[in-house]
Structure 1
């Protein structure tokens, strides 16, 4: 399932706290994004069609909840990036960041710790 960057903003709100009404979603995302109510309603509609979120009726409104976990989404997006740009391999991605001086000392330390943990 492909979730656009705009749709992912709505998903992040729902992953942080759900279920939420459309009004609560709007309160979380409209001001920071500069979006209108209509924009959020369109995004909710798209996510419903994709079955990324579900809607449960509550009185005269709906409560929205994610049907896709953040972990599954991040995994899919990460793998898609690796597949598109680095033939599905992680090492060339890290090498790219290393070659372009995008890795901080903290990044390098965290990567070393992760590699050591994986090696055990």
Structure 2
């Protein structure tokens, strides 16, 4: 699976929220969210259909679109790409960067500890 562009993410977010979704609803959604025109949105839908990112069902009166990629898969792919591109694959550099720049809440610290504890348990299995 290819990394989604920012424009593709906008369309996919709309479809992940609700699908199938008719073209007119996507046009309205994109107009409201990011100010896209009808033609820009329809062009993106056509390109994304051609790329195999979404499926278009045309019943003659209207077109309905469905994502062919799960949100979780796209997020994992994007995260891996970001980690490699920015932090050369180092998770510790990524976490350190966030911790140093942002004060973490007690809840966030607790959640990070749980994640690390679980990862440590899995390493010893």
Q: SS of the counterpart of 1:83?
A: helix
Q: SS of the counterpart of 1:51?
A: coil
Q: SS of the counterpart of 1:63?
A: strand
Distance change (3 Å), C-alpha of 1:33 and 1:60: same
The answer for unaligned runs of 5 or more in structure 2 is: none
Structure 1, residues 39-80: CA drift from partner, whole Å, max 9, x if none?
Answer: 111211221122110111223222110011101100110000
Inter-partner Cα distance in structure 2 for 1:42 and 1:66:
16
Range that drifts further, 50-59 or 65-74 = 50-59
Which residue is 1:7 aligned to? 8
Range that drifts further, 102-111 or 56-65 = 102-111
Which residue is 2:33 aligned to? 32
Which residue is 2:104 aligned to? 104
The answer for unaligned runs of 5 or more in structure 1 is: none
**1:103 shift after superposition:** 4.2
What TM-score results when the alignment is normalised by the length of structure 1?
A: 0.88
Q: How does 1:1-120 map to 2 (within 5 A)?
A: 1-100=2-101, 102-105=102-105, 106-120=107-121
- The RMSD of aligned alpha carbons is 1.5
What TM-score results when the alignment is normalised by the length of structure 2?
A: 0.85
